[in-house]
Amino acid sequence: MTLQPRLKTPDILKGIAALFMFQMHLTLLFLNSDAFSSMTGKISRFFGSTPVTPVFLVIMGYFLARSQKSFGEKIFRGLKILIWGFFLNIGLNLNLLINIYNGKFKLNPYDYIFGINVFFLAGSSIMIITILSLILKKNYIPYLLLATFTTIVTPYLPDLSQLSYHLKFIHAFLWGKQFWSYFPIFPWIAYPILGYAFSLFENNYLQMKKNKEWIGFVTVISGICLVLSSPYALKITYSMNLFYHHDLLFFIWTSLFLITWCSLIFLLTRIWGENILFKYFNWLGKNVTSFYVFQWLIIGNLATLFYKNLTIFETFPLLVTIMFFSNWLVLIWKRILLNFSS
């Protein structure tokens, strides 16, 4: 029984992150400028930033280190996720792309087809870390150093976009600051590497997993550091461009946040892991990929109609409706997969 809540914690973390991510997408695409700049908009942006993508990526890296799949299987998995990123971009922007084709919008369609979403980052990270593991083996220290180094060099990497038209898409994928470069490899690969390193550290110091007092102590200390440094960090979470292209200092802050947040959810899972809300978080975390895809397909195509034109009160009914249909589609998708596998 003592291990059960701990096994649930990653899925619950992903489930909570999925909800924060969902509301963030509506804030970014639907809210008008007044609502976006309001305190509600700022709170939405905070919860849709640090508690979302870094959490997903650290958990992905954590389980990648524990994966028993072969080198080739991991590489293929990463490549498959990266390719799905292209299909997702086409699907969520389909309404927009049709309008561009019909001449309604004078936009470059490639900026949206090649938008660097989290699938691009996740797939690339899996392949890169899998290759690195052949060199760095099971020592967690080089991974920690590499994650830190990644965020240090990011601001100093050259601008490739000026060299040629085609290079700007590669630049956006690697470390560019184009508006469609949401999650470039630099600095974001630091988080799956961090999760990978923590998994190796946990293997070497397994007894620390059983030390509840240690977890509580670390949570309190990191929480105090977060509060003291919150004015600096909040400015970045409120500005999506700064968040997408942050530096070493914010990486350190985010790492402290992850320690505090993950430890807190771990402890709450031990207390409330069996209540209906945490069961829903757990279910959503297990199905987070399909939920991510369905909610994006709906929100992305509706955004062409409502782009940054709604108040908070007008957005709320859409939030409830899209949330319902996204969950419903996940259930249908699960049933389809079950029928195919039987």
pLDDT digits (tens, 9 = 90+) for 297-334: 999 999 999 999 999 999 999 999 999 999 999 999 99
Residue count (the chain): 342
**Which domain covers residue 328, as residue numbers?**
1-48+274-342
Q: Does one domain contain both 216 and 72?
A: yes
- Average pLDDT over all residues of the chain: 92
Number of domains in the chain: 2
Per-residue pLDDT at 4 = 40
Q: Does one domain contain both 295 and 339?
A: yes
For 336, how many CA atoms within 13 A lie in the half-sphere containing its CB?
7
The percentage of the chain sitting over the pLDDT mark of 70, rounded to a whole number, equals 94
223 within a domain of the structure (yes/no): yes
Q: Does one domain contain both 137 and 229?
A: yes
Q: Does one domain contain both 73 and 35?
A: no
Q: SS3 for 177?
A: coil
Q: pLDDT digit string (tens) for 18-33?
A: 999 999 999 999 999 9
Per-residue pLDDT at 15 = 97
For residues 214 and 295, the model is more confident at: 295
Q: What angle do CA 282, 50, 232 make, to 5 degrees?
A: 155
224 within a domain of the structure (yes/no): yes
75 CA to centre of own chain: 20
Per-residue pLDDT at 1 = 33
Q: Does one domain contain both 313 and 328?
A: yes
Of the three residues 236, 257, 283, the one that is the final residue of a domain is 236
- The Cα 133–Cα 115 span in angstroms is 28
Per-residue pLDDT at 296 = 98
241 within a domain of the structure (yes/no): no
262 within a domain of the structure (yes/no): no
150 within a domain of the structure (yes/no): yes
In this predicted structure, the answer to whether residue 42 has a pLDDT above a threshold of 80 is: yes
DSSP 39-106: HHHHHHHHHTTTTTHHHHHHHHHHHHHH----HHHHHHHHHHHHHHHHHHHHHHTHHHHHHHHTTSS-
Structure tokens that stand for 168 in this block? 């700007």
24 within a domain of the structure (yes/no): yes
User: Looking at residue 109, what DSSP letter applies?
Assistant: T
Is the peptide bond prior to 187 cis by the omega test (within 30 degrees of 0)? yes
Q: Report the pLDDT averaged over residues 203-229.
A: 71
258 within a domain of the structure (yes/no): no
Band of pLDDT at residue 341, cut at 50, 70 and 90 = confident
Per-residue pLDDT at 299 = 98
Q: pLDDT digit string (tens) for 177-215?
A: 999 999 999 999 999 999 999 999 887 665 555 556 666
Of the three residues 188, 219, 236, the one that is the final residue of a domain is 236
249 within a domain of the structure (yes/no): no
Q: Does one domain contain both 102 and 18?
A: no
Q: Does one domain contain both 223 and 118?
A: yes
Per-residue pLDDT at 58 = 98
Q: Does one domain contain both 179 and 61?
A: yes
Q: Does one domain contain both 280 and 141?
A: no
- Ramachandran category for residue 103: left, alpha or beta (phi over 0 → left; psi -120 to 50 → alpha): left
Q: Does one domain contain both 325 and 216?
A: no
Band of pLDDT at residue 155, cut at 50, 70 and 90 = very high
Cα radius of gyration rounded to whole Å, the chain: 20
In this predicted structure, the answer to whether residue 219 has a pLDDT above a threshold of 80 is: no
Per-residue pLDDT at 3 = 39
In this predicted structure, the answer to whether residue 153 has a pLDDT above a threshold of 90 is: yes
Q: Report the pLDDT averaged over residues 83-110.
A: 96
Of the three residues 236, 251, 282, the one that is the final residue of a domain is 236
Q: Does one domain contain both 113 and 187?
A: yes
Q: Does one domain contain both 44 and 127?
A: no
Per-residue pLDDT at 206 = 52
In this predicted structure, the answer to whether residue 140 has a pLDDT above a threshold of 90 is: yes
